[in-house]
Chains A and B, each alone.
Chain A
Amino acid sequence: MPTAFIFSLALSGLEYGLILGLMAAGLSLIYGVMGNVNTAHGTFYMLGGFLLFLFSVALGLPVPAAIAVAVIASFALGMAVIFVLPANLRIAASADDANLIMIAMLMLAIAVEYLLDMLTGGTTLPVPSLAVGAIAISHVAFTYQGIIAAVISAAVYAALAAFLRCSRIGKAIRAYAQNRELAEALGVEGSRVVALAFGIGVALAALSGVLLTPIYGVNSSSGWDMLVIAFVIVTLGGLGSLYGSLMGGVIYGIGYSLLSYYVPNYTYIILLAAIYVIIILKPTGIMGEIVEKF
């Protein structure tokens, strides 16, 4: 096996991992603020792909504009979902509340899955790409779509990090994630922060969706695997850290890319099982407990 080939495989994994890490960062952000795993996260990935298809193919917008509209629509939808939840469930005060939100979000996700199933008849929709074509680097194909998507992901990462570190709202989100009571005492309004963080989190999932579904297509049940992948990445990278989801995403992507060459059929299963074992042995993730959130 030539080294150049393995290097190319790893590079392709890096590309995939960067895009997935974006979605995982959204899941992590929501966990940090709300204290529960957003079980509808994969649904927003799928919705991203569907909305892109709707706006570009059905309504005829140019692809970049359709992407922007799809992501903004997902952000608005995410905020709306929070306001539909009962007030006592918006912010989980106990483990029991967190569980109830997870059940409610799961119901929402299943309702959306079957709504789209009803509308599309379960077919896989071809989502338009930003650019058509591919180049080969030592026998590994890199689509232009994938390359552009990885670059966009890296840029969004940097922007998100800057937003959380420097802006007033970003600081409020971080403060709230680190210490709820103290942040509220300083005038941070809990339900607004939760709605905003949830909106940003699901917009990141939708962004992953609009970037990846042109490569893989989208159907009404494609959200579940993405929820599983995002969850695995977040747990692998350690909770409540932007950097952790980035690292987790890259590790997952490279692992996926290398394994899919050697054991194509069972890649996903082996990878999930292996990461599961890591999570069980080290529940705080491979980088250890991260005390400061974001």
Chain B
Amino acid sequence: MRNSEGARDELMVVAALVALGIAAFAVGGYITYIMMYFFAYSVFALSWDLLYSYSGQLSLGHALPFGVGAFAFALLAGALRLNPLASFAAASLVAALAGGSLGTTTLRLRPAYQGVALLVLSQVFYWFTLYRFGDEGISFPQVLGPRYVYATGMATFVVASLMVIWITNSNVGLRLAAIKDDNAAAMAIGIDVARYKILAQFLSAFMAGLGGSFYVLFTMDANYSVFSITNSFFPIAISVLGGMGSPGGVLIGGLLLTALTTFLPAVTSLAVTYLIYAATVFLVLRFYPRGLRNLLNRAGVKV
């Protein structure tokens, strides 16, 4: 299983990415926007991987807590003009509550059904927000200075990464891994399986909510497309590319996908970009299931 050395290398990955973030901020311009996109989606991907790789619960509709966080922030800070940082915290909690409790309702379903049930729920939100808020959703003017927005993003990224690294290296992480590997055996050695699965649902929804609220904080627009299947696909794609079950790998996967997203749509088109992503992830799953994590391991980085 994991050891302190693994945690050390993972912390180094986080530190390197923070350094990259600071460098990007010093350079300024468009690259800061790219980094903010990276902060939002890597936190989102970590939240999916925490749920899947550490409690064995597949969500094919993880856009749900992300989108709830996004819309809650747009309503609180954009429409109601409340304090942006308080709104940010509140929106993530709303996402945790909504995503966690809806996720909990799926606990009794058969394993293969749980993932699709969450997809069904995310589609309910998709159509509801499309009818209720229209095509354009909620747009609002800047609520926080650009520097503070960037700092919020980096802080969110650091807190979420450390939280996941801490959980996965703790006893809780071991219990969650035991549940994933063998549900019945975990129950037999006295782990309260339901309690830990619910805990994973709420934690994961909270983190996805952080990603979603931050996404709206810097794009200043929340619309129905945050609940789309394509948006549920991103955290899965990032995790598979980076290596499921390895927070360090997932972060590197997030960086790779963000980097590709900055220029692929410009040289091809959005449709071709997503086609390339989905095909690549399928091929990685088929031929190289350990993902980028394997390359990192070979280079001596234990993530």
Contacts and interface: CB of A to CB of B under 8 A. Distances in A.
Interface of A: 31, 35-37, 39, 84-86, 92, 95-96, 98-100, 102-104, 106-108, 110-111, 113-115, 117-118, 122, 224-225, 227-228, 231-232, 235, 239, 265-266, 268-269, 272-273, 276, 279-280, 283
Contact of B274 (A85, A114, A232): A114
Nearest to A108: B282
B180 A96 contact: yes
B282 A96 contact: no
A228 B131 contact: no
Contact of B112 (A36, A268, A283): A36
Given A99-B112, A227-B116, 19 more contacts: A35-B112, A37-B115, A86-B286, A92-B112, A99-B52, A102-B116, A106-B60, A107-B279, A107-B282, A110-B230, A110-B278, A111-B282, A118-B269, A118-B275, A231-B116, A235-B117, A273-B124, A276-B120, A283-B109
A272 B123 contact: yes
Interface in B271-289: 271-272, 274-275, 277-279, 281-282, 285-286
Contacts of B285: 100, 103-104, 107
Nearest to B122: A228
A208 to B, nearest CB: 18
Given A106-B60, A114-B271, A225-B123, A98 B286 contact: no
Given A37-B112, A279-B109, A231 B124 contact: no
Contacts of A114: 271-272, 274-275, 278
A283 B131 contact: no
Given A103-B236, A108-B278, A114-B275, A39 B116 contact: yes
Nearest to B285: A104
Contacts, number: 119
Interface string B53-76: 000101010000000000000000
Given A96-B180, A280-B105, A228 B115 contact: no
B274 A276 contact: no
B113 interface: yes
Contacts of B240: 103
Interface string B119-138: 11101100110010000000
Interface in B220-278: 229-230, 233, 236-237, 240, 269, 271-272, 274-275, 277-278
A239 B113 CA distance: 11
B146 interface: no
Contacts of B281: 107
Nearest to A41: B116
B298 interface: no
